Chain A
Amino acid sequence: MSRMEGNGVGSVTATVPRRRYPNVTADFRTFAALTVAGFRRYATYRQATFAGAFTNTVFGFLKCYVLLAVAAGAGAAVAGYDAPRLATFVWVGQGLLAVVLLWGWTDLADRIRTGDVVADLLRPVDPVVTYLATDVGRAGHAVLTRMLPPVVVGPLFFEVYVPHRWPTVPLFVASVALATLICFCCRFLVNATGYWLLDVRGPMMLWAFVSGVLSGLYFPLRFLPDWLVGPLWVLTPLPSLFQTPLDVLVEVDPVPRQLTLVGIQAAWAAGLLALCRVVQLRAERRLVVQGG
């Protein structure tokens, strides 16, 4: 963090200096206000919400029939999942798709490209916090509108698995919250490549392609050989996005194992959030060099 960078330009950062002493109440109120704003922004896209829920539901049927055919072909349970577990896996996964939101978030990248991001930097709130608060509001809206239709339609047509153990419920809620947080960080980092590349189509395409298959969205990752799944789960944040919350929900593992999986999620969430912060700081210094 030397002051000599940027060809000897005096200022290190483009942002307003941040407060030295944290004011927790004010920070919380800012965060809450941004969250509400995020919720209300998405609440205005009513037709898009309906269209999205419809499409998620149709794909729920498609995926469910494929996995049930796999279970039928294999005879007994596949990799620990019986037919009702697979149905729950698919339908709740379709519901979570819009909550966790893998694809289609380009807010930051668009603002970097157009230069509007400068306005974010002038606000006395950390941009990572601003985008996170807005995303929490978006996810809250998605839980109420996008998650319900597939979760209600699935059980009408298929036999689904309902969790039996009480700790599963709080663990599932925590796991979904962590998955949303991890996915936000991944999306933020993919968007932030725009600070350097300006055009994020490449990284975006790569993310869409890798995240879909390795997060457990196309098929439960336990269908893959063990030597692949273990490292994938620990060394990448991807299975934490869908595989962990869904595995917790359908109780393929005993409670201690469920706790371990959620613990891995928590570690990834903390690490990635810190990384977002670092990347954003470096990008702000970079913007000073670009500006003028």
Chain B
Amino acid sequence: MAELGAPAGALRAYWALLRAQARGQASYRASFAVDLVSNVGATALDLVTVLVLFGVTRTLGGFDLRAALVVNALAACAFAVADLLVGNIERIKLYVRTGLFDAVLVRPLRALPQLLLMDLPVRKLSRAAFGVAVYLVVLAAADLAWTPARVALAVVAPVAAVLFFGSVFVVTASVAFWWTDSGEVGNAFTYGGRDFTSYPVSIYSGWFRALFAYGLGFAFVAYHPALALLGMADPIGLPSWVGWAAPLVALPACAAAAAVWRLGLRHYTSTGS
């Protein structure tokens, strides 16, 4: 993998890739418009599901509607942004199988940013924007006791969550380097991770909660930061400082993603023919 000498030149190349993508996708106007709208619909649906569930119960794992919405909106907003920026790395399975990945490797740009920009799903912009808007509305409506620390956490937590979900996308996609036909397995951790994160961790139990919440770290993405924002005690019993430290989970996640990606790249031996 050669690198362009001047970083400015590399940036210009990335920018050209991005612009070509955006233009190409927007040129099918009708299809693009339907996609933009449907993408918002999909995110709105997660919200509607929570409202329907609270139509038949008043509490969910010790959370009332107001508190559950903070968890849900934080997770949904971060996932939508991560899906926009990194989600399309899923397509690497296709690239590895068809051999297109070789073309990516011989270009004088880094492989990961190239892959992300080559397919940046511009239509998912609407979903990400909607997710951020819902997060802001929910925070405003949740009647939180705002302090400077809470404001900082409300900003840092979604950013860390985006990094975390992005790392999950990269790790699950890297599986394709070893197992090309891994199919939907990655979905269990990407979309499954989003679903897990969208509800208070207190509703899960046993080994399943231990594995997803603390083994894989999904509890620190939305649940613990939301507890800190709300000033609630953890129904599971972890101390309250955990919520404030939770965004740090993005650091090991990113490190792990980078390590797995590099390992996979080194393992990659093309498809032959």
Contacts and interface: CB of A to CB of B under 8 A. Distances in A.
Nearest to B61: A69
A59 B48 contact: no
A48 interface: yes
Interface magnitude class on chain A: 35 or more
Contacts of B204: 65
Nearest to A203: B34
B52 A223 contact: yes
A52 B184 contact: yes
Q: Which of A52, A202, A224 is most buried by chain B, counting CB atoms within 10 A of its CB?
A: A202
A55 interface: yes
Interface in A47-72: 47-48, 51-52, 54-55, 58-59, 61-63, 65-66, 68-71
Q: Which of A69, A74, A224 is most buried by chain B, counting CB atoms within 10 A of its CB?
A: A69
A191 B125 CA distance: 26
B45 interface: yes
Interface string B25-39: 000101100110011
A213 interface: yes
A73 B57 contact: yes
Contacts of A54: 184-185, 188
Nearest to B199: A66
B57 A78 contact: yes
B56 A209 contact: no
A201 interface: yes
Contacts of B208: 61, 65, 157
B49 A219 contact: yes
Interface string A26-48: 00000000000000000000011
Nearest to A75: B57
A74 B206 CA distance: 22
Interface in A65-110: 65-66, 68-71, 73-74, 78-79
A179 to B, nearest CB: 21
Contact of A62 (B35, B39, B41, B196): B196
B50 to A, nearest CB: 10
Interface magnitude class on chain B: 35 or more
A199 interface: yes
Contacts of B183: 47-48, 51-52
A122 interface: no
Contacts, number: 100
A70 B181 contact: no
Nearest to A206: B38
Interface string B124-143: 00000000000000000000
B60 A73 contact: yes
A205 interface: yes
A202 B179 CA distance: 31
B98 interface: no
Nearest to B48: A213
B53 A199 contact: no
A194 B187 CA distance: 28
B195 interface: yes
Nearest to A47: B181
A218 interface: yes
Given A63-B195, A209-B38, 13 more contacts: A52-B183, A52-B184, A62-B196, A66-B199, A68-B203, A69-B61, A73-B59, A199-B28, A202-B30, A202-B34, A205-B34, A223-B53, A224-B55
Task: List the 9 closest A-B pairs by CB distance, nearest first.
Answer: A202-B34, A51-B183, A73-B57, A69-B203, A58-B188, A47-B181, A74-B57, A205-B38, A55-B184
Interface of B: 28, 30-31, 34-35, 38-39, 41-42, 45, 48-49, 52-53, 55-61, 179, 181-185, 187-188, 192, 195-196, 199, 203-206, 208
17 contacts: A51-B183, A52-B184, A62-B195, A69-B199, A70-B60, A71-B57, A73-B59, A74-B58, A157-B206, A157-B208, A201-B31, A201-B34, A202-B34, A206-B34, A209-B38, A219-B49, A223-B55
